[in-house]
Amino acid sequence: MSKQAIIVVDFQNDYLASGSWPLVGVDAAVKNAVRVIDDARAKGIPVIHVRHESPEGSPFFVIGTRGAEIIPTVAPKEGEQVVVKNFPNAFRGTDLKANLDAAGTKDVVIIGAMSHMCIDATARAAADYGFNVTVVADAAATRDAQFDGMTVPADQVHAAFMSALGFAYGKVVKADEYLK
């Protein structure tokens, strides 16, 4: 079996219903993420947490605020790596790739938020770097998007991006399938 790591992207308090940038379906996605994380920990698979930090004036993840903190139910345990990023792609400007390479990681499993931003950017970059990518679709969430005067519902945004990732960048599965 190839060396694997779980990458938990931006599951931070601002994405909860009580936060400043709530996502559709985030509670269900976090519950599935907990299952994936617990399974990884039980099997000794590394869990890497990615936390986005934004400058003051941003609508979410402002440095030093409660909203920028990782959601407690998916928070890192002692010894788990935390990568702090400032861009949608978790590899850009961070040591994520170097750490995965140093560990001999070949397969990455990506969960988190937002499907159409940081999950998409991180999954595409991981594939471009040669990692085998799996995205757990129901352990990810997003929100409605705006385009050309239209509101695109979150479930359609999520489906479109999962479809695109599954077409050319990796495998997209549900938590139950992944945990088999």
Q: Is the peptide bond before 114 cis (omega within 30 degrees of 0)?
A: yes
Q: Which of 96, 118, 119, 135 is catalytic?
A: 118
Q: Is the CB of residue 83 less than 8 Å from the CB of residue 50?
A: yes
- Closest C-alpha among 87, 105, 85 to residue 95: 85
SS3 167: helix
Active site (annotated) includes residue 112: no
Q: Within 13 Å, how many C-alpha atoms sit on residue 24's CB side?
A: 14
C-alpha 72/C-alpha 152 separation (Å) is: 30
Closest by Cα among 81, 154, 69 to 116: 154
Contacts for 44 with CB less than 8 Å, ≥ 6 apart = none
Q: Please identify every residue annotated as catalytic.
A: 118
